[in-house]
Amino acid sequence: MSKKDFNRFVEQASKEKKSKNIDWEKRREEWIHNLDEFYNKINSFLTSFIEKGKISIEFKDIELNEEHIGTYETKSATILIGNHTIRLRPIGTTLIAAKGRVDMTGAYGKVKFVLVPESADKPQVKTMINTEDMSGKASEEKDNGNETSDWVWKIATSPPAIRYLPLDEESFMDAVMEVTNADSEDSDG
């Protein structure tokens, strides 16, 4: 790569930065709000088990650091079921194809929860080639393309053919069983 190529890259990157007027503080606040909604939803799925003392959930303050947003405080959760420990850890909001992600890990695996448009059934990444003679309106439409969508939490299946499954009580319980390997344990009926 020549200095001329590098200079062109720097110029283009500078223009892109100026054209994207993303309110990162607002994005962080929305993300924290979405995380709270996620934890409330999970808690509602497990309420009857918590009330009976069969499951407990512990929340812990953690720090995340994301490009553009910086370092901020949020929380992770640990679900305790007998000898099983399941952790829910937020990954962040500056992601490709999702507005946020939380990973659930157990001794036997990981399940990814993603915040995506309600209509999404798989990852969708839009690519746009921007030339200097394109109007500012075209760039604006790209940046705000999903702003009117309703964002919901879904479960992302494993690659390569990633699909989004609705997050409901049954799918969450299936995910817990997956990461604890409970679905392969013998039961007496």
Closest C-alpha among 3, 1, 61 to residue 32: 61
* Beta partners for residue 164, in sequence order: 156
Structure tokens at 21: 């007027």
Please give the pLDDT value at position 39: 97
Q: Which residue has the higher pLDDT, 64 or 189?
A: 64
Measured distance CA(119)–CA(143) in Å, rounded: 18
* Beta partners for residue 100, in sequence order: 115
Query: Where do we find the tokens 């969450």?
Result: 172
The answer to whether 1 and 43 have CB atoms below 8 angstroms apart is no
**Digit-coded pLDDT (tens) for 51-63:** 999 999 999 999 9
Tell me the C-alpha to C-alpha distance, in Å, between residue 22 and each of 18, 32, 101, 123, 158: 10, 17, 19, 22, 31
Q: What percentage of the chain has pLDDT greater than the value 70?
A: 80
Measured distance CA(72)–CA(34) in Å, rounded: 15
* Beta partners for residue 19, in sequence order: none
pTM of the model: 0.77
What phi, psi does 57 have (nearest 5°)? -125, 130
Q: CB burial class (10 A; 0-12, 13-18, 19+) of residue 44?
A: exposed
pLDDT exceeds 50 at position 158: yes
Quick one: pLDDT band at residue 26, thresholds 50, 70, 90?
very high
Query: Where do we find the tokens 């604890």?
Result: 180
Query: Where do we find the tokens 């995910």?
Result: 175
pLDDT averaged over the chain?
85
Torsion region of 36: left, alpha or beta (phi above 0 gives left; psi -120 to 50 gives alpha): alpha
